[in-house]
Amino acid sequence: MLTIDGSLPSELAPLAWLVGEWEGTGVISYPVDDDRVEIEFAQTVSFAHQGLPYLQYEARSRRLDTDALISIETGFWRLARSPGPTDLGPGMLPATGSAIASAEELEKLRRDDGGFEVEASIVHPNGVQELYMGVANGPRIDLATDAVLRSPSAKQHSASTRMLGYVQEHLLWAWDIGTEGAEVVSHASARLAKREASDASGKS
């Protein structure tokens, strides 16, 4: 059964089901030149909060055949809305209060289709940073990149879409990517189970 953290700020309610640690397995299936790379991996994903209106995200993936680390992602997920004096920044300036302090105020941001607009910034160690915009609608989140920043040493990566859903007590996700001049195609997917609090307490 999915439990919701009651200490979450009101505006994180549309993302509340993500909070916690998840683990499971997935597969990379992606065309490279005239071949297709197929790799099975184990993954641990964490969504955490510190009482502020964002979730801190981290994902680590290892090959199942060699246990070699193949991917680390880190970033922040939050509701997409107009900024104001109640928000952090610029820089290290603190917020002056809670922008959305009640369910009634949150409800004003609900779209006609029942969802809420969200954003996620994700950083990769290979010189790629992604800014996603999308919609959280119940136990499903659909995201597409608004911008992809690449360092001069990074491989081609021009666009991405991601889908996350809570299905039969599991977090299912799919990630599609595109390179310069190529369409966005299926890249990887996984099925993760939520770790119980007692299981996660001993993790370093």
> What pLDDT does residue 189 have?
98
pLDDT in tens, 129-178: 999 999 999 999 999 999 999 999 999 999 999 999 999 999 999 999 99
> What pLDDT does residue 17 have?
95
Give phi and psi for 14, each to the nearest 5.
-65, -15
Residues of the chain with pLDDT under 70: 1-4, 6, 197-204
Q: What is the largest CA-CA distance in the chain?
A: 55
For residue 41, what are its two tokens? 């991996």
Domains and CATH numbers, the chain: 10-200 (2.40.128.20)
Number of other CB atoms surrounding residue 200 within 10 Å: 15
Share of the chain above pLDDT 90, in %: 73
DSSP label at residue 105:
H
> What pLDDT does residue 204 have?
34
Give phi and psi for 21, each to the nearest 5.
-110, 135
Predicted TM-score (pTM) of the model is 0.90
Burial 145-170 (b: 16+ CB within 10 A, else e): beebebeeeeeebebbbbbbebeeee
DSSP label at residue 18:
G
Helix (H, G, I), strand (E, B) or coil at 202: coil
Give the whole-angstrom CA distance, residue 33 versus residue 61.
24
